[in-house]
Amino acid sequence: MNLLLDSRFRGNDIDGSAILISVGVIGCGHWGPNHIRIFSQLADSRVLMCADLDEKRLSSIKGLFPEITTTKDYKDILKNPAVDAVVVAVPTNYHFKISKEALEAGKHVLCEKPLALLANECLQLGEIAQKAGKILMTGHIFVFNQGIVKLRDYIASGEMGKIHYAHSERTNLGPFRYDVNALWDLAPHDISIFNYLFNSAPISVSARGHKCLGGNLEDLGFATIDYPDNIMVNVHVSWLDPKKVRQITVIGSQKMVAWDDLDTEGPIKLYDKHVEKTSVYYETYGEFQLLSREGGITMPKIGFNEPLKAQAQYFLQCVSKNQPPLLADAVKAADVVRTLDAIAESINRKGELVKL
């Protein structure tokens, strides 16, 4: 059966009960094959085509998914009227160009992070999508991670009290990239996470980066990011650490929580710990004394899900219901890119504070 021609695989079923969305994947490098796998597994989508410049990658995809049409020219996907939606998984500097072409060709678009290299380009893509009546979504995958969702629930409930600060660590030995530096590669994840956790974009940043390997791109970086309500965040990213780390710690006035994405048994740990001031007067040490209060540790049960799958399901839902992808739309993508631009500016100015 030819999925390109069979109308049963496009639009509403006769009874209006289901929509099967046809997907094309542009870029079959690191993430492209994962998108192909996920959209091929889901009941309400099919991958019809994929594109890449590397014949070996296309041959590999064809061996795993013989029903998929492969091409070296991504425009073949954009010209195919049977393709409803496109996944853009190419190097970052091509995100804007290909996403724009896809939207103008009448396709819904899911683009890997960051959506573009400039914040105004993200907003421009959002305007094009709105005028075309198409869904544009950015692959901020960690907002679909159940551990991060639980972390946000703790913060939003007020259980942690006033949030003082947070810090994240995202390190590994490689993989090395040659299109963007370590901050543009890794920090979009953490920035999108903290924007999601605090329901806000940053207000200022200060950052330092280092080119340890002597190349043109920073392979490690430290960024201090200020959020409203006097919340300070520190982000550490690196391609040069001996072990892979994916951790976030959030400190509140009443409780503290740690997230470890690599801990499959208990990724979230809620610490019933805080610091309080005594009401006793001390002539020598001032009017109060700081005391630590320590309680137990809670490890909530976190349901297993593959974030990439949850992200794909959300995208398909937005497409089928024609609803904006509020978790990862063009505005949120622009907030992340604007922050990355400010980080780059701060690095160039040797760590000076840059306001957004």
Residue 177 has pLDDT above 60, yes or no: yes
Which of residues 12 and 258 earns the better pLDDT score? Answer: 258
* DSSP codes joined into one string, 191-218: HHHHHHHHTS--SEEEEEEE-TTSSSS-
pLDDT value at position 276?
75
> Average pLDDT over the chain, rounded to whole?
91
User: What is residue 55's predicted lDDT score, i.e. its pLDDT?
Assistant: 96
CB atoms within 10 A of CB 25: 30
> Taking the CB of residue 294, how many other CB atoms lie within 10 A of it?
9
How confident is the model at residue 286, as a pLDDT? 52
Measured at the CA of 205, the angle between CA 203 and CA 210, to 5 degrees, comes to: 160
**Residue 111 in this model has a pLDDT that exceeds 60:** yes
Percent of the chain whose predicted confidence (pLDDT) is above 90: 83
Reported confidence tier of residue 265, pLDDT bands at 50, 70, 90: confident
Q: What is the pTM of this model?
A: 0.90
Structure tokens at 314: 């959300």
pLDDT at residue number 154: 97
